[in-house]
Every structure is written in structure tokens, then in C-alpha cells.
Amino acid sequence: MKKLFGLLIALASFTVGFAQSPIRNVQSNNNGWFMYFGDHKFSEHWGIHLEAQFRRNEIIAKPQQLLLRTGINYHFAPNAFATVGYCYVNTSQYGVFPAKCAFPENRFWEQLQVKSQAGRIEVTTRLRLEQRLSKLPVAQSTGEYAPGDDVYTNRARVLVRLSVPFKGKTIEDKSLYFSCYDEAFVNFGENVQSNIFDQNRAYAAIGYKFPKWGKLEIGYMNQMIVKSDGVKVENNHTLQVGFFSTLDFRKKKS
């Protein structure tokens, strides 16, 4: 457990040090993310992932991103599963470093997620790989910008989440709990520009587990995004409201 806390602290410290470099131009946005995550079993080993995120700039006033993600889960152990899937993202012009125009991205992804218990602390670790096809803005003959051809990039993401109930030893139905995580993003392969370190997300929230339906979390995320030039950095203060459903789709035996 000390190693996991150490990893979270190291990731957060690296993020602060990176952002404070004198060559960085760091600017802030205030955003709001309103999210649904569903991991639903339809057999003992197989399930489906369903996800929708409505990301807004200026908390709720303006669009930031629309993200729709789905996948197939394979549960190879009680607290571990692997996923392969597809994701669609549409990024709007927002904030202090807006894109030249709104543009879409198609993404394929694979992940491994493992959950364990260390005393009262529930530990979730996740490794995700993404193959991204982004139609980045390109200047037109008119001088305006429009989405161009697909630009292919790879990205790896590593997340460590710690959750602890306020009462009891584990998070059960009707539990109120605290949760935090840090997630680091690294680009690799061709077409990566000056932002090999893509972004970092540090999060803290209060959650409640509803019987049968899932968990509701309300919290704060600090999202640091490094733009492709390696100089411009978004420091996004983000309200997050997320519902995590594990509703079982398996037919009940009569």
C-alpha cells in the first residue's frame, strides 16, 4: 500500500514540476464533466462496457467534448477483466487554447483492470492502450479551417485509484466513501510531436453506492493537457459528476 501511495505522490509531483517549467505557457479553464460508465455482465465471463461523457467548458455553458465509448469485457477472474472497444470523440473550440475548428476522433482501445482490497482501501489499477485517428484542423484555400485527413497516434494510460468507506471495512450497498486517483497519459510512435507526455489527471471525490444500481461520485479533477507544441499547457479545473453502473444483464434463473 505504501508503494501505491508513493506512486500517486510521484505522479502528482512530476505533474507540478512539469507544469512549472519556465518554458511552459500554462493557462486555466473551468470545466464540468457529466458522465455515465456501465460495465454490465451478460454471462459469467462476458460483458459490455457502455459510456457517455458530456464535457463542458465554463462548467456547463459551452461545449468542450462529447465522448461515446463502448467495448466488450472478458472477466477472467472475480476482480479482473480485459476490454477491447471503440470510442468516438468530438472536440469543440473551447478555452484559452482553442482548436482552429471542431474536429472528430475515432479511437480503438484495449485495457486491463484489476481491483484488490488492502485493509479498508479498495485499490483499482488500470492500463489502457489507445489507437487514435484524429481529423485535426487543416487550413483551407478560403483561409478557414476544417477537419483534415486522419492522423494516427498511439497513447498509453496508467491509472491508480484508491477508495475507502467512511464506515465499515469495505464499500457495500448504501456506503458513503472517499475516492481519489491519478492517471498519466503518454504518447508514442509516429506522428507524435513535442508532447510525448500528453496529460495527467488528479481526482478526488465523495461517492455513494446505491443498492443494485451502482455508484454516484461528485468530485474535483485537475487535468493538465500538454499541447502538441510542448509549450502550451491547459490546467483545467473540472467538476466531475459520474454514475458507475454494474447492473447485471444476465437472465435470472427461475
Q: Reply yes or no on whether the pLDDT at 10 is more than 80.
A: no
Does 13 score more than 60 pLDDT?
A: no
Interval 211-238 mean pLDDT: 96
What pLDDT was estimated at residue 1? 55
Q: What pLDDT shows up at residue 252?
A: 74
Label residue 251 by pLDDT band (50, 70, 90).
confident
3-state secondary structure 151-165: EEEEEEEEEEEEEEE
Q: Give burial (CB, 10 Å; 0-12/13-18/19+) of 230.
A: middle
3-state secondary structure of 8: helix
User: With DSSP H G I counted as helix, E B as strand and the rest as coil, what are the percentages for the chain, rounded to 5?
Assistant: 5, 65, 30
Does an H or E element contain 10, and which?
helix 2-19
Query: How many whole angstroms separate alpha carbon 117 and alpha carbon 213?
Result: 22
Which is it for strands 25-41 and 232-245: parallel, antiparallel or unpaired?
parallel
Mean pLDDT calculated for residue range 148-176: 97
Residue 219 has pLDDT above 70, yes or no: yes
Largest pairwise CA distance in the chain: 66
pLDDT at 155 over 80: yes
Give the span between the Cα atoms of 38 and 52, in whole angstroms.
Answer: 9
The whole-number pLDDT of residue 6 equals 54
Over the stretch 29-84, which tens digit does the pLDDT of each residue have? 999 999 999 999 999 999 999 999 999 999 999 999 999 999 999 999 999 999 99
First to last CA, the chain: 43
The mean pLDDT value of the chain amounts to: 92
Distance of alpha carbon 98 from alpha carbon 254, whole angstroms? 56
CATH among 2.60.120, 1.20.120, 3.30.499, 2.40.160 for 2-96+110-132+156-245 = 2.40.160
